[in-house]
Structure 1
Amino acid sequence: MTAKIPFERAIHDHGATVLRVCRTVLGAGPDADDAWSDTFLAALRHWPDLADDANVEAWLVRVAQRKSLDVTRARARRAVPAADVPDRPAPRASGDGDVWRAVAELPERQRLAIAYHYLGGLPHAETAELIGGNATSVRRAAADGIKSLRRSYRAAAEGEESTP
């Protein structure tokens, strides 16, 4: 049986992964930073109960998923004031290199599949448990999302406007 690593080490080793997952689900900004903090606060409370041989990274990604979901639900309940409602969306600047915005524009299932599998390191089966469906459908959603991102960046590199 292996001994559990110190909590500070878990933050050091997995903090960047958790932040990438939060930013992918919520977008770059204060909400993702808050979800990251909430993830580690919750993890600290439950750290003594975690099994010594647990997959700490996968466990932290699951906690981050739940905290990100809490933020998403809170966003849905908040009113967003606007002085003027635009007639149409602002044009997208091509080639700006803003990967977070491109990821945020993906359909939710693709975005979550990418977040939990590629950034969080969860297997497709565990990702399916989080977002619903089965491993095959999650694998397809992640592949479609990556394909859309590649197409978007290829178009940006060629100077065209494209949406994922």
Structure 2
Amino acid sequence: MTREKAQLKPGVLPPFQALIDAHWRDVARLARAMAGPVDGDDAAQRAWEKAYAAYPKLTSAKNLRSWLLTITARCATDVHRARKPQRPLDEAPPVAVEGPEATDFPDPELWRAVNQLPERQRFAVTLKYVGDLDHHGVAAALDTTPAASRRLVSDALATLRSKLGVDDD
């Protein structure tokens, strides 16, 4: 555990700067993974703005990291929604929503496959493995249940294994 994270005590709200110092890397990494390298910084900045506005109203310091990553995931989701056409679906031609470029990550083949997943599966697997959230945190970020979160992640992993030719053994 880093020195910054060790300073945060459960039950006591730290100064907001201490929260930033402890979690800025996690927020930036998740925003970039979900919104892409171009929009990731904007999504992270928006997440910090929302967190700062909501911080005085918090009554518990329990699981502040999950709280921040949930806000980050929602801000990244807003980026994707803003990219979609604003016309009724029956009139709109199909539009591919761009995610992060595969070459921006260590395993380009894997990230190409992740980018091809349906949006909710892509977000679920990113929150789980990039954001390092448990299924309760993923569920909170996606406004679903932990069981549905497990299913989304499981389906995403099955699709990725199939596309990449990876055995479950």
- Given that 1:22 and 1:32 are in contact with CA atoms closer than 8 Å, whether structure 2 keeps it comes out as yes
Higher relative contact order (CA 8 A, sep 6+): 1
- Aligned mates of 2:14, 2:144 — CA distance in 1: 33
Instruction: Write the distance in 2 (CA, Å) between the matches of 1:52 and 1:128.
Output: 20
Structure 1 position 6, deviation (Å): 2.3
Question: Sequence identity of aligned pairs in percent?
Answer: 32
Deviations along 1:110-132, whole A, 9 cap, x unmatched?
Answer: 21111223333433244234435
Question: Between Structure 1 and Structure 2, how many residues are aligned?
Answer: 140
- Residue 39 of structure 1: aligned partner: 47
Once residues 18 and 82 of structure 2 are traced to their aligned partners in structure 1, the CA distance between those partners, rounded to angstroms, is 31
Number of the residue aligned with 1:11: 20
Q: In structure 2, list runs of 5 or more residues that go unmatched.
A: 1-9, 87-101
Query: Which residue of structure 1 lines up, in the alignment, with residue 107 of structure 2?
Result: 97
Indicate the residue corresponding to 2:77 in structure 1. Answer: 69
TM-score, normalization: structure 2?
0.65
The Cα shift of 1:143 comes to 2.5
Higher gyration radius (CA): 1
Q: In structure 2, what residue type is equivalent to 1:58?
A: S
Does structure 1 retain, via aligned residues, the 8 Å contact 2:74–2:141?
no
| Cα root mean square deviation, aligned | 3.1
Q: What is the DSSP-based 3-state SS (H/G/I as helix, E as strand, rest coil) of the residue aligned with 1:5?
A: coil
Instruction: Give 3-state SS (helix, strand or coil) of 2:107's partner.
Output: coil
Q: 143-152 or 103-112, which moves further after superposition?
A: 143-152
Distance 1:53 1:129 in 2: 17
Structure 1: 4+ residue segments shifted above 4 A: 150-155
Gap change, CA 1:147 and 1:74, over 3 Å in 2: same
Cα deviation for residue 52 of structure 1 reads 4.0
